[in-house]
């Protein structure tokens, strides 16, 4: 499972003319689910997301987590994070989990975040979306449950 985590001052996602998710300060998270992912991969990424210390404290050190700053999460499913670009010019998405199973993992991620008391907004699974974000910092991190990076 892979996640791109961006610290934002605001973010929103639309499908066509419909606004489907919006947050103020927090993180925009793109989540890619691979065929080999299971509940432990999901838990690893969610725990990492919740606990990452990516906001500055009074000493200007990155010591504060999402929970510490009462930040929100905008979670967007993005199978292209599973793309393999090592060969040729067209990415292979062979490692991406099938949509039905990936949707279940995405919905479980939402449940986990909400159960932790976080404000959660979402994109729409499987839709073509327009994502708008004001990056704060910018701070952008990559998380991989297989710890490949």
Question: Of all helices (H) and strands (E), which one includes residue 26?
Answer: strand 26-32
Counting Cα atoms < 13 Å in the Cβ hemisphere of 100 gives 0
Catalytic residue among 36, 80, 85, 140: 80
Catalytic, 80? Answer yes
Report CA Rg, the chain. Answer: 15
User: How many residues in the chain?
Assistant: 149
Task: Evaluate whether 102 touches 56 at the Cβ level (below 8 Å).
Answer: no
The runs of H, that is alpha helices, within 55-126 are 99-115
Q: Is 97 helix (H, G, I), strand (E, B) or coil?
A: coil
Sign of CA dihedral 96, 82, 23, 131: negative
- Rounded Cα distance between 12 and 56, Å, is 23
Catalytic residues: 80
């Amino acid at each position: 499972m892979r996640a791109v985590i961006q610290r934002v001052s605001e973010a929103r996602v639309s499908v066509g003319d419909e606004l489907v998710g919006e947050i103020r300060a927090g993180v925009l998270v793109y989540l890619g689910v691979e065929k080999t992912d299971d509940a432990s991969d999901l838990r690893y990424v969610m725990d990492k997301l919740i606990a990452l210390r990516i906001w500055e404290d009074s000493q200007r050190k990155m010591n504060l987590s999402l929970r510490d700053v009462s930040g929100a999460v905008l979670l967007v499913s993005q199978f292209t994070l599973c793309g393999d670009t090592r060969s040729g010019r067209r990415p292979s998405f062979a490692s991406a989990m099938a949509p039905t199973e990936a949707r279940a993992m995405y919905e479980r991620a939402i449940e986990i975040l909400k159960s932790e008391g976080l404000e959660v907004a979402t994109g729409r699974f499987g839709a073509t979306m327009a994502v708008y974000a004001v990056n704060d910092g910018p701070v952008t991190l990559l998380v991989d449950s297989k710890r490949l990076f």
